[in-house]
Chain A
Amino acid sequence: MESILKGRVHKFGDNINTDYIIAGKYTKTLDFATLAEHVFEDIAPGFAKKVLPGDIVAAGRNFGCGSSREQAPIAIKHAGIGAILAKSYARIFFRNAINQGIPAFLCDTGEIEEGDSLLVDLEKNVVELPDRGKIIPLSPLSPVMLDILREGGLVAYLKKNGTYLLSR
């Protein structure tokens, strides 16, 4: 994982559920490119066509609530989104995103706006909005999630370690 992630912001509100990220009718496939074509379709028509590689999703509270469908973070990843920022995540989605190797972090996204150029600095643990001179602290990930993310996802983590490693 890069220690600095840069991208343009796509802003979403609170309670964006996994049905909105990828509708149930598209979930029945192992062709992940087709998931990406329909990402956010029900709440942001045409989203998939607007995304540039490395773009960043910034959302409000409870991002990814609802279904456990991992097709949701898979669709986000395959659409080219480089990172997700949210005020809070629904539990299952948060795990799924990290398991897919998507940098998903917690921070106060209230001042981040659609179209902002944004920089996530994982050395300093901050989000920077250079155009507006704002710096927003990131809440730390739990050590196990950080370890999984550093390996690029859970499959790579388990291939390397064979099991879960926790330091308590």
Chain B
Amino acid sequence: MGKTAAEKIVSAHVHEEVKTGDFVIADVDLAMIHDTTGPIAIKAFEEYGRKRVWNPSKMVIVLDHATPSPNERISNLHTLLRRFASSQGIPLFDAGEGVCHQLVVEQGLVAPGGLAVGADSHTCTYGALNVFAFGIGSTDMSGVMLTGKLWLRVPGTMKVEFRGAMPEGTCAKDLMLHLIGKIGSDGADYLALSFCGETVRGMSLSERMTLSNMAIECGAKAGLMEADEKTFAHLKALGGPVPRPLWDDDDADFASQVAIDASAIPPQVSRPHSVDSVVPVTEVTGTEIHQAYIGTCTNGRLEDLRIAARVLAGRRISGNCRLSVCPPSRKVLKEALAEGIIAQLVEAGATLLPPGCGPCPGTHLGVPGDGEKVISTANRNFKGRMGNNKAEIYLASPATCAASALEGKIADPRKYLRS
């Protein structure tokens, strides 16, 4: 019997062979905290009475959830994080540098075969680089800060295969929304997803990150992919940790297997207030919207902004709809500026927001009004998610969000991409 990638990566961090269902204590290669979860982790860490974290070079602190600070209370939490980083010698990315998950990947802080934890549920994003990465709470993080280790149960694996080429107008986001709609918001609880198939192999790293990012939206602990030449090309330029790629054996014992024909999936939309309430865009076209949002760790990268600009360039958004665009990092912002994408988006009527997370979890900027409908490239549409429990949130790809901003209604992006 072969082993899954999850079993192999965890085994490498436990220093003995482990299998699905085992309870183990694993070494952690990277631990990330940010301005929502970090202060509580630091408060808990200080209770241990230990002066130093286990290894400051294996930690990173990112200020991204409410940046630049909107009020003095949050400013003081930022100060607490800066002081802790400085006194411990932990690298810190300050306000405006970008969203934690984008930065961890961009800066090459993780490598294939690694084990990373973050005090943020979308830490599973790094699975796109073959990293066994998952979100934990602040107190678990305080334990990592103390010991460099974490107890965990080795998860079973759901193999998810995407076959075929995505049709024009369909994005990685659409495939992931389709999967979540199919298996439900707890369809992969306590499992790792292993994404595979020709569609995934054909994807860029950015598209793969969109899939892995949303693994948590069906309850998965991780969203793993096989490392390949694209992964290594990305890492080579950065010189991070040594890659030790590991992948599923064909004869591993998978908990379940799902195969999806990507060529048959049109643009998808997730309806309020649950991510797994997914329909083809054609079922909701014409639904009035008041705000569109393009950004986040799911879908704000250069390729996402590029396809949004393809839809929006030379056109003007509806007078009944606002559009906010938030690149997930300074690097993406600079590249989008250099390509002229930002100019195209702004000329089309978009408001540019500073790199960060704020609007997505309702912690800063872009809060919708009562009764308003939002279409967003983010990963969650729970009631109240963007800061107002009387608003409704639809989730879609950057292309669909851009097309919807043009019409002030949910719109099928395909007609704007044909030229």
Contacts and interface: CB of A to CB of B under 8 A. Distances in A.
A17 interface: yes
B387 A70 contact: no
B142 A142 contact: no
A134 interface: no
Contact of B185 (A62, A93, A163): A62
A65 B219 CA distance: 7
B40 A91 contact: no
A99 B185 contact: no
A68 B40 contact: no
B282 interface: no
A135 B361 CA distance: 40
Binding site secondary structure of chain A:
loop
Interface stretch (B143-151, B248-256, B303-311, B339-347): B143-151
A50 interface: no
B56 interface: no
B37 A70 contact: yes
A62 B187 CA distance: 10
A105 interface: no
B151 A166 contact: yes
Interface in B343-382: 361-363, 380, 382
A166 B274 CA distance: 37
Interface in B36-93: 36-37, 39-40, 43-44, 47-49, 65-66, 73-74, 77
Interface in B101-136: 118-121, 123, 135-136
A42 B150 CA distance: 33
B74 A28 contact: yes
Interface in A43-71: 43, 61-62, 65-71
B387 A25 contact: yes
A68 B119 contact: yes
B149 A70 contact: no
A166 B361 contact: no
Contacts of A20: 382-384
| Interface core residue of B66, B73, B151, B190 (most chain A CB under 10 Å) | B151
Contacts of B153: 142
A41 B388 CA distance: 11
Nearest to A153: B139
A100 B138 CA distance: 10
A122 interface: no
Nearest to A62: B186
B173 interface: no
A40 B212 CA distance: 29
Interface in B2-40: 22-25, 35-37, 39-40
Given A90-B219, A155-B47, A166-B25, A96 B362 contact: no
Interface residues of A, number: 47
Nearest to B117: A68
A96 B36 contact: no
Nearest to A159: B48
Nearest to B363: A24
A95 interface: yes
Contacts of B216: 66
B380 A92 contact: no
A91 B139 contact: no
Given A20-B382, A24-B385, A158-B146, A61 B186 contact: yes
B207 interface: no
Nearest to B380: A66
Interface string B141-169: 01100110111010000000000000000
Nearest to A17: B382
Given A42-B383, A74-B40, A144-B23, A91 B221 contact: yes
B139 A99 contact: yes
Interface string B181-193: 0000110011000
A74 B185 CA distance: 24
Contacts of B36: 24, 27-28, 69, 71
A168 interface: yes
B48 A155 contact: yes
B97 interface: no
B186 A88 contact: yes
Contacts of A168: 22-24
17 contacts: A19-B385, A24-B363, A27-B36, A28-B73, A30-B40, A65-B219, A67-B380, A68-B123, A69-B37, A90-B186, A90-B189, A91-B189, A159-B47, A164-B25, A164-B149, A166-B23, A168-B24
Interface of A: 15, 17, 19-20, 23-25, 27-30, 41-43, 61-62, 65-71, 73-74, 88, 90-93, 95-96, 99-100, 142-144, 153-155, 158-159, 162-164, 166, 168
Given A20-B383, A30-B77, A62-B185, 9 more contacts: A15-B186, A24-B362, A27-B361, A28-B363, A68-B118, A68-B123, A92-B137, A144-B151, A163-B25
